[in-house]
Structure 1
């Protein structure tokens, strides 16, 4: 049933955000497929390929961020077939870094999703700025 699939996809994106905000890199990375991609080059960060690389970045992020919040909204999800989908959602992210910097980004997540044996996962997230990102001092 598509409603269940949509719920599970939105849940994966929310686990990603909650994991980042609660400094739980395991939870944040659990949203991604084993061969997933997280690409924030357009907002001045890096591109990570594969679960291990994504998880390592989230570990470093948890160590560098004092406190932060990601608000995800406006999910649009379209299905390519029974096991693949793509979509977008908006993210408002703000954080205070342990080094004293304050960062902010309002962006569009362009996602691809895949159904795995563990449920729906993000197979690719490409983050594109909607406003000028304020990332000075983001040292991870």
Structure 2
């Protein structure tokens, strides 16, 4: 049933955000497939390929962020077939950094999703700014 698939995909995106916000890189990375891509070059960060590289970035992020919040909304999901989908969602993120700085970004996540044995996961996330991001204090 597509409604269940949509809920499972949104749950994966929310696990990502909650993991980042609670400083739990394992939970954040659990939203991604083994061969996933996470690309935030458009907001001044890096591109990471593969679960291990994404997890390593989330570990470094957790060490650098004192407090943060990622608010996701406006999910639109289209299905390519029974096990593949793509979509978008908006993210509003603010973080207080351990170095005393703060960051703020309002962006569009362009995602691809895959269903595997352990459910729906993000196979690619490309983050594009909707407003000029304030990322000067981000040192990861």
State the match for 1:78 in structure 2: 78
> Does 1:125 find its partner at 2:125?
yes
Query: Is there any run of 5+ residues in structure 1 with no aligned partner, and where?
Result: none
2: CA distance, partners of 1:116 / 1:23: 26
TM-score (norm 1): 1.00
2: CA distance, partners of 1:51 / 1:139: 21
1: CA distance, partners of 2:79 / 2:137: 38
Query: Is there any run of 5+ residues in structure 2 with no aligned partner, and where?
Result: none
2: CA distance, partners of 1:41 / 1:108: 13
The CA RMSD measured in Å over matched residues stands at 0.3
State the match for 2:116 in structure 1: 116
State the match for 2:38 in structure 1: 38
1: CA distance, partners of 2:52 / 2:119: 19
Shift of 1:57: 0.2
Shift of 1:92: 0.1
Shift of 1:46: 0.1
Q: Aligned pair count? A: 140
1: CA distance, partners of 2:102 / 2:6: 33
TM-score (norm 2): 1.00
2: CA distance, partners of 1:35 / 1:4: 24
Tell me the SS of whatever aligns to 1:133.
coil
1:10-61 Cα shifts (integer Å, max 9, x gaps): 0000000000000000000000000001000000000000000000000000
